[in-house]
Amino acid sequence: MTVHELSRTDARRIAVRAQLLDRSRPAGLLDVVRRLTLLQVDPTAAVAPNADLVAWSRLGSAGYSPADLTAALADRTLLELQAMIRPGEDLALYRAEMAEWPERGTPSSWREYHRKWVAANDACRRDILDRLGAAGPLPSRELPDTCELPWKSSGWTNNRNVTKLLELMVQRGEVAVAGRRGGDRLWDLAERVYPDAPAVPVEEALRIRDERRLRALGIARARGPECQVEPADVGEAGEPAVVEGVRGEWRVDPDRLGQPFAGRAALLSPFDRLIHDRKRTTELFGFDYQLEMYKPVAKRRWGYFALPILYGDRLVGKLDATADRKAGVLRVNAIHEDVPFTKTMSVEIRTELEDLARWLEVELLLPA
């Protein structure tokens, strides 16, 4: 098989087009999620929740309202699975993996601990199933913690036994997120949430998921670190490629090769899949970026929740902004330019900022 030789510009444009961030806008929310394969759920909303921000960055204020996502989740067109919003029909690609838990869908270093911990708390698991069967959907706080063995972690999940058990029961295909009340997930029996569709056999499902992930990314590594929910690598999907000036072999979606490119300005969530793989972001875009909300204020370079700025096929800066809902403003603290903005760039980025404020229904407040 031919190994495709790509310049970094080629690779960047393939990635931008694949992520629906070129000048051609998608048809609507469902089109976005099907083509990206997912919207990541994250509660941080310094500007807007990630799923909404990603959808807006593709569709704009005229094409997307958060009510669209609420409605799609309510009618099960879209489903929340392990903190990812996916097309309802894609559940068939995960059912067989659920049936083989924890051998499938769990990092190898955690499999035995997960198995033993769930077995030790089987009485609590059965109680949860009984309560949801009788009264669900319910938030986790209404499910009593009867776990005999506490969950041990150095992170925020330490001793959050019911929450952790529910998340593992999602992986087993027993429970599902049925909706949200405020910021709280509502849990129910999976059979009452998920569509009744036959499972795709595991190996075939993994192959299809790799192919769809590559189609959404455009270009990716064949192998990467083990990841429980959504890997950054794509196995043998696509065709081999090398990128000028970057070591190692890539996989590329051949349907993306040779397509014309017309770029635009876009403001991205810190969790956007274009930049989610920070190593790929550095290799292809030469873009230095970290989410700094966990850093002390004095150590932040770009801001609490700085939005990467895309212009054409380059990541050109970071926007430090906060949506102050009470004051009714989108407060721009700073725009950090990685490269000097031309007049045309400034105008187009300002237009995107104005659209963001319009979508948020607040006034744009720029620094003096």
CATH number assigned to the domain comprising residue 325 = 3.40.630
Residue 112 inside a domain? The answer is no
3-state secondary structure of 71: helix
Residue 349 inside a domain? The answer is yes
CA–CA distance, 277 with 271 (Å, rounded to integer): 9
Residue 136 pLDDT: 84
Residue 171 pLDDT: 96
Residue 350 inside a domain? The answer is yes
Beta 363-365 vs 329-337: how paired, if at all? parallel
pLDDT at 368 over 80: no
- pTM score of the predicted model: 0.95
Mind listing the pLDDT tens digit for each residue in 309-354?
A: 999 999 999 999 999 999 999 999 999 999 999 999 999 999 999 9
Q: What is the total count of domains within the chain? A: 1
Residue 308 pLDDT: 98
Residue 105 pLDDT: 83
pLDDT at 155 over 80: no
CA–CA distance, 16 with 221 (Å, rounded to integer): 16
Residue 159 pLDDT: 84
Residue 19 inside a domain? The answer is no
Residues of the chain with pLDDT > 70: what percent? 100
Residue 313 inside a domain? The answer is yes
Residue 279 inside a domain? The answer is yes
Give Cβ neighbours of residue 60 (< 8 Å, ≥ 6 apart).
25, 355, 359
pLDDT at 252 over 80: yes
Confidence category of residue 364, pLDDT binned at 50, 70, 90: very high
Residue 195 inside a domain? The answer is no
3-state secondary structure of 240: strand
**Among 319, 334, 231, which residue's Cα sits nearest to residue 276?**
231
Residue 280 domain boundaries: 264-365
Q: What does the DSSP assignment read for 127-149?
A: HHHHHHHHH-SEEGGGS----SS
Mind listing the pLDDT tens digit for each residue in 113-147?
A: 999 999 999 999 999 999 999 998 999 999 999 99
Residue 228 inside a domain? The answer is no
CA–CA distance, 114 with 146 (Å, rounded to integer): 17
- Tokens 């499910």 belong to which residue? 143
Residue 154 pLDDT: 76
Confidence category of residue 175, pLDDT binned at 50, 70, 90: very high
Confidence category of residue 102, pLDDT binned at 50, 70, 90: very high
Residue 96 pLDDT: 96
Beta 39-40 vs 84-87: how paired, if at all? antiparallel
Give the orientation angle of helix 122-135 with respect to helix 111-120, to 10 degrees.
70
Q: What does the DSSP assignment read for 280-312?
A: HIIIII-------TTS-GGG-SS-TTPEEEEET
